[in-house]
Amino acid sequence: MKKLLILISGILFLASCASRERSAAYGYSGGNSGGNSSHGKLLDYNQQKEKEDRRMMIYNASLSIEGKNADTIGSRVVGVAKRLKGFVVSSGNNSTTIRVPADSLKFAISLIETFGKVKSRNISGNDVTDEYSDFNTRLENAEKSRKRYLELLAKANTVDEILKVEKELERLNTDIDLLKGKMNRIDHLVQYSTVTVYHSEKVKPGIVGYVFVGAYKAVKWLFVRN
């Protein structure tokens, strides 16, 4: 009888082990049935985030600054471009345009805003991902076509055939150069944000103006006192 109990216990133990192995093979985790679903959602989120990070954005900013000396503001804006390893696009009496690395745009704006009274500020972004992708596809197709025409040129037997192929190659080379130029420009504008600063001098009141300013301050002081 004792041997029989030991045998039954052994059989039950082996059956339990086999059941656990089958559960593990089928991904069963003891009541955590939502594990695979959560993992799938995490993968979807990560893929979407990665896709968003690959978006190509061009950022432009414009500021209107009023100060005691407009020329000084302009020269200080140029200094910001040099400090952030950017460059100057244009510089005049009333406005200065610079380009700075895109990841330094916010810092550049924070510096410029200390040069005087900020009258206005605007920052805009332009998503050029699809446009860039279209240029890239057209470039790849043009380069494939050029490769085929080069193969035809090697097999051409008559002058007429050679001239026709060379004409197509010339057209394709022009298209390829234009597409590369457009893509390079987008790459540049994505890497360097444009900042345009409109600078003006603070208007100084005349003799009569100073009288009105003094009267205004006096009235304001009386109201504060009361």
Residue 219 lies in a domain: no
CA gap 183, 141 in Å, rounded? 15
Task: List the domain range (segments joined by +) for residue 198.
Answer: 55-128+191-208
Shared domain for 115 and 146, answered yes or no, is: no
* Comparison of pLDDT for 36 and 168, the residue scoring more: 168
Average pLDDT over residues 166-187: 97
Q: What's the token pair of residue 60? A: 């432009």
Residue 28 lies in a domain: no
* Comparison of pLDDT for 212 and 143, the residue scoring more: 143
State what percent of residues in the chain have pLDDT above 70.
Answer: 66
Shared domain for 85 and 174, answered yes or no, is: no
Residue 41 lies in a domain: no
pLDDT for res 202: 79
Lowest mean pLDDT among 7-21, 41-55, 71-85: 7-21
Q: For the chain, how many helices (H) and strands (E)?
A: 7, 5
b/e code 92-129 from CB counts within 10 Å (16+ = b): eeebbbbbbebebbeebbebbeebbeeeeeeeeeeebe
- Residue 53 DSSP code: H
Residue 161 lies in a domain: yes
Q: Which SS3 state, helix, strand or coil, does residue 101 take?
A: strand
pLDDT for res 24: 45
| pLDDT digit string, tens, across residues 91-105 | 998 999 999 999 999
